[in-house]
Structure 1
């Protein structure tokens, strides 16, 4: 291989891989950059993220705030974010004509509300800086060369020699899929699903599918709890509160084989004691009104009617006429309703795993392997994962950019 022009091969055509490839090619025109994608699709997670709008990043006020949204890898991302953070991401895309907007919950999207805008931007950059993109090219093993470079063995027997490799292959659902990376001497933290919804087969709550409301959710027998929007689906529960719980509890819930009890408080501003204290004045104020028609908590009407039904309260009952036993049952359902969970469902196509390359074996300042030179990592292949809200994409952009700048600086 010519010593004049060096080569970088990036394995993985997702957000992290593309960001590494286009930035390395831009910063070093003399570097030949090849991007390999094992499937027939590029940037597939970018396409489906945020309901097809692409949740590019999160409008975090500072690095400390941001790092607290990563169940795994907080210390690692704190160091890497000092090199490329949210304002850098916003500026990078803005410089290329993609303006981002922040929503009330902090999620950031392109102003077009279309993920294709982000995809087109990255593809244009790859074209502009002559990144060679090859589809349906899966790396099966890596071999070190005597000169400090690498030979990539691809499916079908093809070999590709390179000076630098950046692995941005994403997460794997099965530990066995990491074998080719273990052969480089790296340790793999076994994978576990990290963003998933809760299955509640046969639960009457599913009759309210499509209903969304603020709630506080706890996992019985654990310290896991989250507050936020909860969405009822035809299979159980989803929404930000559930997805965040699934990320923080990824290992714990896997150990329970996804069989546990979720305790939902439909009135996050109350607990059992404060609701009991407030109840007599509510009963006095609304005594003559039918409880079915008068919901003083601002709950969606369908949910209110469902809870009254579950408490055995007749729709003709007035507030003043509800028996104490039924009142107690309703209070319990409002602030502490048990839902047996049996199984999980992947959140749309946004499958995220925890697990991957052990972080102690990677330098967060460069994304280079601490074990073997000229081998870099970016994105979800590392044991870093964030909750839903743009955090996983920010890690992808950051790690891809940091790897690119470190490779160019060699």
Structure 2
């Protein structure tokens, strides 16, 4: 059943996505009326020069491929988004995984050019495509996204998947600049074909989207929640200014909580095997607290994960310490207690006079950190760069990326 807005008019949705979202819109109870749909295209191709082409000139028998190629070659779809009066936008960006080619300084799906017998296009590498997207996703692109009342981002998280890292890297270019963002994330096996999945896969996405329009507090999808590695995180799917306190429960009992914050995102790092869940409290108590699901976390038992005490490096090399914190269990840091009286990243800092144990000196952190980085999987490495982006040196990032590629 299509949702009506307060004026009793069908709520319109624009979609920048893939065949996954097309399957989702085919459910009879999909909550919106589809207005504009850009399917299986890269952002790069949207504003390129058109190659005027009729459907009869597209050399393939698959109707879906004909439709996608016709829209890709003739362009004009992005203009509809720029002029749209839809209130909701849904994005999944899986269209970025299609092969893209450059032809006459413009960009098209490689298949689109093949279907009209153009073989002189230059296929883009993933790196080239990513670099170009960094240029194309500019303020004018963000301005279009921020015209919508709601922007629903649908992400698929796959462990050890370069494709997943590629898509999430593109989202990172603009996601935090979206004012009215709602987030849905799904952990999927990288071997699952998301475009030909069981109907239950698409049904779950549809039902989650429907909950955004629910009038019932109990049926609203207030959380996007995930446990990845040792991080349990929640994202509050509410658009508006509220102040929250995030509270972590361990084996059913309150364990730790955040200070009051306006942030809709929070994560806890788990260090011991146990059952955990997060409770979100509004500071003004205008709405009763809401609990996440319960997650069972198993701490890795390998002995090389434990590092007892580490010496604090100088400020230019704190990233070395961050690597060890991300990959090891550290009990304490030896350094300037006066500067870090509340600890560093939730790890206590001790003065040299207080420590009777042996500790790893700062001079040895570089070799240890480089070894840890070389052993990181794609998701862990991407998350490490994201968490430390304020201190990232471009040359350093390039070197670390090169190091991992040489594993």
- Please tell me the TM-score bracket, short chain as reference: under 0.3
Asked which structure has the greater CA Rg, the reply is 1
Higher normalized contact order (CA 8 Å, seq sep 6+, divided by chain length): 1
What TM-score comes out, normalization by structure 1 length?
Answer: 0.24
